[in-house]
Amino acid sequence: MTDVNPITGEVEEPEHIPGTDTELVPLNLSAMSEDELIALFPTPVQAAGALMYARNVARRAPAALDTYRRKLKTAERDLTVALALGAEKILEVYPRMPMGERRDLARAIDDRVKDAQLAADTAWLEMEYARDFDRMIGRDIDILRSLNANLRGEQR
């Protein structure tokens, strides 16, 4: 995205994102005129539209979270079963080994347990991403509500 001038060593940034007509936001806000700064803010209609869209996404969040929660519970159950079967298999070879050590050994050598552990870890990570996304949408809604309230006051 940025190029370095080989002669001067200066970093040259393009005015637009390559391949689009989207302008890059300047980092030096103090050098911008008042009109340029005002152009960065959304119109009341844009802010209201963004709020409606965010609320629509937030309405779908509980169902999405429930899907990820169910997937995580299923993966955890599969891991428990795989671990029990792996420990039982090790019991045949090492009849005097304590159960905790058999489970640890099953985690280390049994491919079925390794796959189940990977699936459980992946499901947990997906669940955490979904929770983070839900919290992010909530924060966005709060910001957009505030922005809408301020824009309504300015339009009167």
34 shares its domain with 74: no
Q: Are residues 25 and 51 in the same domain?
A: no
DSSP assignment of 11-40: EE--SB-TTS-PBPPPS-GGGS-HHHHHHH
Tell whether pTM > 0.75: no
Q: Are residues 125 and 49 in the same domain?
A: yes
Measure the CA dihedral 40/43/45/47, to 10°. Answer: 50
User: Does residue 8 sit in the same domain as residue 71?
Assistant: no
Residue numbers of the domain that contains 136: 44-155
Judge whether 63 and 71 are in contact, CB under 8 Å: no
Number of domains the chain is built from: 2
Same domain, 98 and 136: yes
Whether residues 64 and 128 fall in one domain: yes
Do 148 and 109 belong together in one domain? Answer: yes
Q: What is the mean pLDDT of residues 86-99?
A: 91
**Same domain assignment for residues 5 and 58:** no
Same domain for 139 and 63, yes or no, is: yes
The whole-number pLDDT of residue 17 equals 64
Residue 136 above 70 pLDDT? Answer: yes
Are 101 and 29 found together in one domain?
no
| Confidence (pLDDT) at 120 | 97
**20 and 93 share one domain:** no
